[in-house]
C-alpha cells in the first residue's frame, strides 16, 4: 500500500506543476478579463484574478486564507497518516493536497489566485485546475467515507 501512497504523492506533485504551468500560460498570453470561447455555449477560457474564495467571497483577506490553508494542509496530512492503508482515502486526500498547494502558491506569490475556466451555461464561479483537484478530491473522499466499513 505504501507504493500507492508514493504514486499518489507524485501525481499530486504533477498536478501542482500542471496547475502552475497553466496559470502562468494564461496570465502571460490572455489579457486580464478577456474571454475566449473554447466550446461555444459550454466553456470559455478567461484570465481572472481572484483574491477571495468561490464567488469572490471574503475577497482581500489573504492572511485569513493563508492561515486556513496551513490548517487545512495539517489536517489533510493527519488524515492521510491515519488512513494510509486505504487507497481511495489516499487518492482523495492527495487530490485535495494538490489543489490546496496549487492555490496556496498563488496566494503566496501573487496575493491572488489565477482562475480561468468559465462555464457558459450556468452561473458558476470561474475556476482553475487546483479547484478541480479540490472538488474531485472531496468527491473521492466522500465516496471513500460512504464505502468505508471499518470502525
Q: Which of 85, 115, 120, 149 is catalytic?
A: 115
CA pair distance 15, 96, nearest whole angstrom: 11
Check if the beta carbon of residue 51 is closer than 8 Å to that of residue 113: yes
How many angstroms from the chain centroid is the CA of residue 36?
Answer: 22
CA pair distance 34, 110, nearest whole angstrom: 19
Task: Return the residue matching grid coordinates 472531496.
Answer: 138
CA pair distance 120, 67, nearest whole angstrom: 33
Q: Please give the torsion angle defined by the CA atoms of residues 121, 34, 134 and 68, in that order, rounded to the nearest 10 degrees.
A: -130
106 has catalytic annotation:
no
Q: Which of 85, 106, 120, 131 is catalytic?
A: 131
CA pair distance 96, 102, nearest whole angstrom: 10
Check if the beta carbon of residue 95 is closer than 8 Å to that of residue 1: no
131 has catalytic annotation:
yes
Which residues are the active-site residues? 115, 131
Amino acid at each position: 500500500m505504501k507504493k500507492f501512497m508514493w504514486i499518489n504523492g507524485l501525481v499530486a506533485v504533477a498536478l501542482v506543476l500542471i496547475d502552475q504551468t497553466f496559470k502562468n500560460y494564461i496570465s502571460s498570453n490572455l489579457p486580464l478579463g478577456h474571454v475566449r470561447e473554447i466550446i461555444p455555449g459550454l466553456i470559455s477560457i478567461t484570465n481572472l484574478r481572484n483574491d477571495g474564495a468561490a464567488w469572490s467571497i471574503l475577497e482581500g483577506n489573504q492572511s485569513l486564507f493563508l492561515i486556513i490553508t496551513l490548517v487545512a494542509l495539517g489536517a489533510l496530512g493527519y488524515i492521510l497518516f491515519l488512513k494510509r492503508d486505504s487507497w481511495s482515502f489516499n487518492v482523495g486526500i492527495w487530490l485535495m493536497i494538490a489543489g490546496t498547494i496549487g492555490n496556496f502558491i498563488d496566494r503566496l506569490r501573487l496575493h491572488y489566485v489565477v482562475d480561468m475556466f468559465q462555464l457558459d451555461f450556468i452561473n458558476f464561479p470561474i475556476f482553475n485546475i487546483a479547484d478541480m483537484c479540490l472538488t474531485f478530491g472531496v468527491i473521492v473522499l466522500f465516496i471513500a467515507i460512504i464505502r468505508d466499513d471499518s470502525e
